[in-house]
Amino acid sequence: MKNPVSLKKTVRTVVALSTVAIALALAGCGGSHAGRPATSSRPPITPSSEPPVTSAPAPKSTGTPIVMDIGGQEIAGELDTSATSLSLLAQLPLTLSFRDFGGQEKVAELPAPLDLTGAPAGSDASPTTIGYYAPDQRLVLYYDHVGYFAGIVPIGTYEDTRAIETQSINFTVTLREAD
């Protein structure tokens, strides 16, 4: 019979080698090395108990189409179905004076506050976002990316950032529901 100390060393060696072998096998299945994506052309293996993921067609819009008229130039947009958007829709048609703010957005003060029921505490607005900045009761047209700010409530999107970005410092927009 082997010495108990020798047996413990043998068991430790076998466990260590097994751990290394398992780690190497798992690393080979990981799909990336040092942050680089895998170059394998094989699709990922999906467990048979779950249906494979397929891409579905984009859902049809359920928002309300709007038009932003800037001196005869019409820009299409859409407001979502949130309580905040619905309270803006109730104020339309609406003519607002916008001004540039921070080289990222155009802002206009609204005549009445919007409903914040169900609104997020803040958001990270991206270009083409129509937002409501609740602390200042402003409608905001974002044409550049802004980081997260408390008080930003995204309520829709519009189609042409260039048309908004290139407006003079002060300009007027008439918002209405699309025909």
Architecture of domain 64-177: Beta Barrel (2.40)
What is the mean pLDDT of the segment spanning 121-133?
96
pLDDT digits (tens, 9 = 90+) for 62-78: 899 999 999 999 999 99
Q: Decide: 91 and 111 in contact? Cβ < 8 Å.
A: yes
Residue-by-residue DSSP string for 27-47: HHHSS-BTTBPP---SPPPPP
Residue-range domain boundaries for the chain:
64-177
- The mean per-residue pLDDT over the stretch 30-46 comes to 37
